Amino acid sequence: MQPLARPLTFFKAYDIRGRLDEDLTDPNAERVGRAFAEGLGARRVVLARDVRPSSRGLSQAVARGLMAAGAEVLDLGLAGTEEMYFAVSHLGADGGICVTASHNPIEYNGMKMVGAGSAPLGAESGLAEIKALAERGDFADARGGGRVVDSSGTRSDYVECVAGFASAASLKPLKILVNAGNGAAGPTFDALAGRLRANGVPWDFVRLHHAPDGTFPNGIPNPMLEENQPATAAMVRQAGADMGVAWDGDFDRCFFFDHEGTFIPGEYVVSLLAEAFLEKEPGATIVQEPRVIWCTRDVVERAGGRVVLSKCGHTNIKRVLRAEGAVYGGEMSAHHYFRDFFHCDSGMIPWLLVGELMGRRGATLKDLVAGRRAAFPSSGEINFRVPDAEAAMARVEKDYGSRALERDDVDGLSLSFGDWRFNLRMSNTEPLLRLNVEAKDSPERVRTAVAALRALIEK
């Protein structure tokens, strides 16, 4: 192949994400497939795709590239990113690719990639080499011998693995509202629900926006956005459900609602999952990112566990999880990572564990988080679009740095003042500053700190 005239701009820090028909085209997707196989020396590669209309053509192009390099393509068909993660390790493949744009607008698509052992690929761990080779196009002569193998049957093994994270004996009757957002989650959830039923789990499910539909008639599935939450909340109340669960497009993130339809912010979910694991494995290590830390740290330290901070982003969390032997890692953005799921993130495992914890406690989800929300109120992530992010960061550091009692620079600037703290970090991809503020026992302290920081950032 000839070298490309311009760089492939769809390669990002952790994955591939770009606008369709600009440089994310079928021919370029074929280049990526070939570069993936040659760059990693991959002979067997798992391939999956989400429900978007463009994903089928892009995945076929990736498969052509993989086969041209002589690789065997283990095709899962329509599947979630975590099913690809599972299959790579379960089948002993050399890597995996899921064609997905997750929660991005319909004019976008992308790819998530891992190497052997479901190890993450990032800008410093293989992705840059794949990008450079795809751009140069100086591939080896076509090897031939590549083929596509239908590997969709792997889902039954995946379901068996995921179902095993919760003990059926601990599960009490629940009614759970699930919102697949017309993404890829529906068929996988149905397979998991069937396994749970066969295991004697006494849970009933109410399904919302369940059928996969790449036109997304009910909107792009991104439950993180406040405007996308009312539909799930209303159906939780209408169905009389004990809990609501909603997924993004490739279901590697899940979001929770209590029985009143109240959305549960991600940092409190991280603390619940940390508690669930520490009950099963006392003294275990938990990984979290530094945006909002106090609630989870309190839970872990009370249980005799250990907290390790990691920079945000799935490649960073996974790397720390492996290095520290941690049982679980969580991000407030609803990514949850599990040692016993090949150190990867899953959107199906978390709600099983939360449901199990509700059964063991004999408590509602609202009751489980109420004390945490009161003790450790937080602002949620606030984004600032500023002309000069570095200058705004410098103003904040100059004004607050000398007064802080504690500081860490794991990811951005984190300063603690005894009864409140904040984290301020620059976006990797946009001229944005992202602010999170938390306090001890005082929502008013959060509000006043946000107002003061806002004035300084927007100065």
pLDDT in tens, 113-129: 999 999 999 777 789 99
Question: Residues in the chain with pLDDT < 50?
Answer: none
> Taking the alpha carbons of 196, 199, 201, 204 in that order, is the dihedral positive or negative?
positive
Q: How far apart are CA 221 and CA 214, in angstroms?
A: 10
CATH topology identical between 175-262 and 382-457: no
**Average pLDDT of the chain, as a whole number:** 96
| Sheet (strand 382-385) strand order | 382-385, 432-439, 420-426, 413-416, 406-408
Which of 102, 151, 271, 378 does the annotation list as catalytic?
102
Q: How far apart are CA 328 and CA 344, in angstroms?
A: 10
Alpha carbon distances (Å) from 137 to 27, 37, 232, 372:
12, 13, 46, 54
pTM across the whole model: 0.96
Residue 429: what pLDDT?
62
Q: Do residues 86 and 159 lie in contact, with contact meaning Cβ atoms separated by under 8 Å?
A: no
Residue 132: what pLDDT?
96
Residue 431: what pLDDT?
74
Residue 170: what pLDDT?
84
Q: How far apart are CA 211 and CA 187, in angstroms?
A: 8
- The class that CATH gives domain 175-262 is alpha beta
In 3-state terms the chain splits into helix, strand, coil percentages (rounded to 5) of 40, 25, 35
Pick the CATH number of 16-154 from 3.30.413.10, 3.40.120.10, 3.60.20.40, 3.20.20.70: 3.40.120.10
Residue 48: what pLDDT?
98
Residue 168: what pLDDT?
87
Q: How far apart are CA 76 and CA 147, in angstroms?
A: 14
Does domain 265-351 fall under CATH 3.40.50.1970? My reply is no
Neighbour tally for 403: CB within 10 Å: 8
Q: Do residues 291 and 313 lie in contact, with contact meaning Cβ atoms separated by under 8 Å?
A: no
| Sheet (strand 44-49) strand order | 16-19, 108-115, 95-99, 44-49, 72-78, 147-150
pLDDT digit string (tens) for 48-64? 999 999 999 999 999 99
Does domain 382-457 fall under CATH 3.30.310.50? My reply is yes
DSSP for 35-104, please give it.
HHHHHHT-SEEEEEE-S-HHHHHHHHHHHHHHHHTT-EEEEEEE--HHHHHHHHHHTT-SEEEEE--TTS
Domain spans of the chain, in order of start = 16-154, 175-262, 265-351, 382-457
Residue 38: what pLDDT?
96
In 3D space, the residue among 161, 139, 211, 166 whose CA is nearest the CA of residue 351 turns out to be 166
102 catalytic? Reply is yes
